[in-house]
Amino acid sequence: MTVLSALLSWGLLGALLPQLRRRLLDQPNARSSHQVATPRGGGVSFVAVTCGLSLVLALVGDGSAAPGAASRLSWLPLICAPLALTGFLDDQHDLPAALRYGVQTLTCLGLLSVASLAVPWWLLPIVLIAATAVINFINFMDGLDGLVAGCLAVVFTVAALQFRATATWSLVGALLGFLVWNWSPAKVFMGDVGSTFLGAAFAGTVLQATDPATALGLLLVGFPLLADALICVLRRAADGQPVFEAHRLHLFQRLNQAGWPHGRVAGLYLGATALGGLAFLANGLAGMTCMVIVDMLAGIWLELRLGACCA
């Protein structure tokens, strides 16, 4: 399934690239990390492949050894599909923020409706806000070649091993096929169609954990991406700056400005995510907590040594 979805995603994106170059060309500006006009919207490839294969698996059966969460994971990409469509339209027309957040909220309600995690009614508003935050944080972090696609491929690999879910392996494969085109130097960007879809799929996958410790541990596998976004939001809010306005203050952006090439920065985040995933699979939340501490110390060191030169 992984190889099939990778080939389908790679081939579909190759076929779509001429159209994306004509219709969705991203021109560099003062806040961009790229220097050459590059098409965006490439996330439509892994969205289409994952949704198509997930529909087949949902109808004929996942065939997994863990039928509960695995079966529900087959439906997650389909629940996230309307959000991907909204992202695709936003890539072209800059939709109002209220409309985008409304669709995010409805998507997260759909994800909660099929969640394996038992969430008390009084915690539902907090979980809903947290789920939409994950969507937006992943979207914020989509600013460097291979960064989000690479890290999320690792996160979903960990989830596929945890839940033994064929549908999640199809998403991993589709992301790997996309990465062939997106790794530095990127020939295409995923756009909001891809980043919001991945954020929602990530949130929905976490909600398929059957206990809070597993859910939190799986969420923290994405710590390198989520922490960078969260810290930047808090920093900008404390300084009275617009939180949702585009900028170049993320750690990954500052490392790139300090001279690190795209591949090196993405590789750092990808490696940290992979180490966290291994710690989670080996020792659960306890192992993941240790890796979070290591990641925080490494992030502070990088801020002081490299990121500060571009503050």
Task: Note the pLDDT of residue 71.
Answer: 66
Relative orientation angle of helices 147-163 and 262-305, to the nearest 10 degrees: 90
Q: Long-range contacts: 155-158, Cβ < 8 Å, 24+? A: 155/202, 155/218, 155/221, 155/222, 155/273, 155/277, 156/201, 156/202, 156/205, 157/277, 158/218, 158/221, 158/277, 158/280, 158/281
Query: DSSP character for 307?
Result: G
Does residue 259 surpass a pLDDT of 90? no
**190-223 pLDDT, tens per residue?**
999 999 999 999 999 999 998 999 999 999 999 9
Phi first, then psi, for residue 196 (nearest 5°) are -70, -35
Task: Give the separation between CA 189 and CA 194, rounded to whole angstroms.
Answer: 9
Max distance between CA atoms of the chain, in angstroms, equals: 55
Encoded tokens for 251: 């750690």
Mean pLDDT of the chain: 88
Task: Note the pLDDT of residue 165.
Answer: 79
Quick one: how far is CA 21 from the chain centroid? 23
Task: Give the separation between CA 72 and CA 115, rounded to whole angstroms.
Answer: 8
**37-69 pLDDT, tens per residue?**
889 999 999 999 999 998 888 777 655 544 555
Pick the closest to residue 181 from 149, 157, 142, 154 (CA basis). 149
